[in-house]
């Protein structure tokens, strides 16, 4: 049996886009927008786990990233 996926999510056709902040290679995060969810995955493992977030949770996360909350330096 393959890895668990959220039911009803056609992730291969979700239109994943690589992060513009990635290294341009395979070490990137990819994101896709569906009507009721935002999906993310590791570009090195496109068949792996694909967490889903509500649009509000995703927007909140992006806001915190832009504010530098997760910066390592």
Per-residue pLDDT of the chain (73 residues; tens, 9 = 90+): 334 444 345 555 678 888 776 665 556 788 898 888 999 988 888 888 999 999 999 999 989 989 999 888 7
Beta strands 38-42 and 29-33: pairing type? antiparallel
Q: For position 73, what pLDDT does the model report?
A: 72
Partners of 17 in beta bridges? 31
Q: For position 8, what pLDDT does the model report?
A: 41
Q: Could you tell me the sign of the dihedral formed by the alpha carbons of 64, 65, 67, 73, in that order?
A: positive
Q: For position 17, what pLDDT does the model report?
A: 86
Q: Cα–Cα distance between 60 and 64 in angstroms, integer?
A: 6
């Amino acid at each position: 049996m393959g890895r668990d996926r959220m039911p009803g999510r056609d992730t291969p056709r979700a239109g994943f886009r690589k992060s513009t902040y990635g290294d341009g290679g395979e070490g990137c995060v990819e994101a896709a927008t569906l009507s009721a969810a935002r999906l993310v995955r590791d570009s090195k493992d496109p068949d792996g786990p694909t967490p889903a977030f509500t649009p509000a949770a995703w927007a909140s996360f992006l806001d915190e990233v832009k504010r530098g909350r997760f910066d390592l330096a």
